[in-house]
């Protein structure tokens, strides 16, 4: 075999190997909340490039690519070289959008632009409108807020602590009570039980409103709840439940739910709310309920301006100034 044919064979083999590791085309369509195209948005693609067969072992090495959308809001990336990847989209004056985990089709050899080997994602960028200072805290994320069983305990959202005698708070914005009943043991020695964490309020007009929220690992904006709290729809009680029977453990917790709060309400003679503070809880309330005292943790935000329902948080202007690292909030 002469030198020219040998070089040509090496080149063809390398090209076939490259094509065999190509996973097709990725198209990202970037729109604003009204469906309009967002031009010049940054599209960040991160993935692990696998190690070719025969070249050792391991997961490969990390690669990051960055692109810009065109005037139609579309970014097209051809000849992807990884099956699993993550995408983040950003533009000034908008919140980040994250794809979660994305899987591309199986490798293709000779049809990069085949429709069967393309994947199209739509990223909705949420505009930054009016971020403001709020009280924002990851309460209990250091060691847990200790809650004795069968004893109602009030929590002051501005003090960030239980009210007396359990802490230094003055106003019981939220009242927690944990009730646990054990019926016996299952075949493995686990407690058969029903446990309830009740959240109630001290004032008429106060309440909590459960709303859908993007799960942390799912695709969507970093602003996971609406910017503004609703004016109505609040309930005076919320109950989280855990139970275990012979079939196993169960709960009503969800990873796609958040809450709005209305506290420190004042009402008129007809019972209509005339004055209140509004807040939000990002995600469910975590509870290590099998310990006594139990340990609570939750991430909350509170607007201290009466009747202002704006809850778009500016993380650089937290009204809490003495938070421990584990208590700090960086999400809007």
pLDDT grade, residue 110 (50/70/90)? Answer: very low
* Dihedral sign, Cα of residue 314, residue 316, residue 317, residue 318: positive
- pLDDT tens-place string over residues 286-326: 998 888 899 999 999 999 999 999 999 999 999 999 899 99
On whether both 114 and 191 belong to a single domain, the answer is no
On whether both 108 and 89 belong to a single domain, the answer is yes
pLDDT of 16: 32
Task: Determine how many CB atoms are found less than 10 A away from the CB of residue 69.
Answer: 23
DSSP string across 272-293: -EEEEEEEEE-SPPEEETTSSS
The whole-model pTM stands at 0.84
On whether both 173 and 321 belong to a single domain, the answer is yes
- Yes or no: say if 129 and 221 are a contact pair by the CB < 8 Å rule: no
Q: How far is residue 151's CA from residue 173's CA, in Å, rounded to a whole number?
A: 16
- 80-96: average pLDDT: 85
pLDDT of 61: 58
Q: State both tokens at 239.
A: 């109950």
Query: Has residue 174 been placed in a domain?
Result: yes
Query: Has residue 130 been placed in a domain?
Result: no
Counted domains in the chain: 2
Query: Has residue 332 been placed in a domain?
Result: no
Task: Determine how many CB atoms are found less than 10 A away from the CB of residue 27.
Answer: 14
Query: Has residue 34 been placed in a domain?
Result: yes
On whether both 49 and 177 belong to a single domain, the answer is no
> Of 185 and 131, which is predicted with more confidence?
131
**Residue 183: is its pLDDT beyond 50?**
yes
Last residue of a domain, one of 74, 93, 125: 125
- Yes or no: say if 187 and 249 are a contact pair by the CB < 8 Å rule: no
pLDDT of 239: 95
pLDDT of 33: 94
Query: Has residue 216 been placed in a domain?
Result: yes
Domain limits for position 51: 3-125
Last residue of a domain, one of 62, 96, 125: 125
- 37-50: average pLDDT: 85
- 29-46: average pLDDT: 94
Q: In this structure, what are the phi and psi dihedrals at residue 37, rounded to the nearest 5 degrees? A: -70, 145
Give the list of residues 6+ apart from residue 97 with CB closer than 8 angstroms, or none. Answer: 30, 88, 89, 90, 123, 124, 125, 126, 219, 220, 221, 222
On whether both 107 and 187 belong to a single domain, the answer is no
Q: How far is residue 93's CA from residue 311's CA, in Å, rounded to a whole number?
A: 17
115-129, 196-210, 214-228, 236-250, range with greatest mean pLDDT: 196-210
On whether both 63 and 193 belong to a single domain, the answer is no
Q: In terms of C-beta density within 10 A (0-12 exposed, 13-18 middle, 19 or more buried), how is residue 221 classed?
A: buried
* Dihedral sign, Cα of residue 168, residue 198, residue 267, residue 263: positive
CATH for 26: 2.60.40.1120
Query: Has residue 166 been placed in a domain?
Result: yes
pLDDT grade, residue 22 (50/70/90)? Answer: low
CA 40, 44, 48 angle in degrees (round to 5)? 160
**Residue 118: is its pLDDT beyond 80?**
no
Task: Determine how many CB atoms are found less than 10 A away from the CB of residue 77.
Answer: 16
Count of all residues that appear for the chain in the document: 332
On whether both 232 and 252 belong to a single domain, the answer is yes
Last residue of a domain, one of 79, 102, 125: 125
How many CA atoms does the CB half-sphere of 97 hold within 13 Å? 26
Q: How far is residue 201's CA from residue 238's CA, in Å, rounded to a whole number?
A: 10
Burial 139-165 (b: 16+ CB within 10 A, else e): bbbeebbbbeeeeebbbbbbbbbbbee
Name the 3-class secondary structure at 110.
coil
In 97-170, the DSSP E strands lie at 97-103, 118-125, 135-139, 145-147, 153-156, 161-162
Name the 3-class secondary structure at 19.
helix
Mean pLDDT of the chain, nearest integer? 85
On whether both 11 and 147 belong to a single domain, the answer is no
- Yes or no: say if 154 and 296 are a contact pair by the CB < 8 Å rule: no
On whether both 105 and 207 belong to a single domain, the answer is no
H/E run at residue 66? strand 61-68
Strand pairing class (118-125; 25-32): parallel
On whether both 155 and 275 belong to a single domain, the answer is yes
On whether both 179 and 320 belong to a single domain, the answer is yes
Residue in 302, 150, 295, 124 with CA at minimum distance from that of residue 214:
124
On whether both 38 and 78 belong to a single domain, the answer is yes
């Amino acid at each position: 075999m002469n030198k020219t044919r040998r070089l040509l064979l090496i080149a063809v083999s390398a090209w076939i190997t490259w094509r065999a590791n190509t996973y097709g085309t990725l198209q990202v369509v970037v729109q604003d909340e009204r469906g309009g195209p967002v031009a010049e948005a940054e599209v960040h693609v991160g993935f692990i490039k696998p190690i070719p067969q025969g070249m050792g072992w391991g997961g490969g090495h990390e690669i990051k690519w960055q692109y810009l959308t065109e005037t139609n809001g579309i970014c097209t990336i051809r000849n992807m070289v990884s099956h699993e990847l993550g995408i983040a989209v950003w533009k000034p004056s908008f919140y980040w959008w994250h794809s979660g985990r994305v899987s591309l089709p199986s490798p293709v050899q000779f049809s990069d632009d085949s429709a069967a080997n393309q994947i199209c994602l739509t990223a909705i960028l949420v505009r930054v409108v009016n971020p403001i200072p709020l009280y924002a805290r990851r309460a209990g994320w250091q060691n847990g807020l200790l809650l004795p069983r069968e004893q109602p305990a009030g929590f002051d959202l501005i003090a960030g602590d239980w009210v007396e005698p359990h802490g230094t708070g003055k106003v019981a914005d939220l009242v927690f009570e944990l009730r646990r009943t054990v019926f016996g043991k299952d075949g493995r020695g686990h407690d058969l039980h029903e446990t309830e964490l009740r959240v109630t309020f001290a004032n008429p007009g106060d309440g909590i409103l459960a709303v859908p929220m993007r799960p942390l690992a799912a695709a969507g904006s970093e602003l996971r709840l609406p910017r503004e709290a609703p004016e109505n729809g609040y309930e005076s009680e919320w109950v989280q439940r855990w139970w275990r029977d012979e079939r196993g453990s169960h709960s009503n917790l969800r990873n796609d739910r958040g809450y709005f709060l209305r506290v420190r309400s004042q009402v008129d003679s007809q019972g209509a709310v005339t004055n209140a503070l509004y807040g939000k809880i990002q995600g469910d309330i975590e509870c290590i309920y099998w310990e006594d005292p139990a340990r609570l943790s939750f991430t909350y935000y509170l607007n201290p301006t009466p009747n202002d329902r704006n809850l778009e948080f500016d993380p650089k202007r937290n009204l809490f100034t003495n938070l421990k690292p584990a208590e700090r909030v960086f999400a809007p």
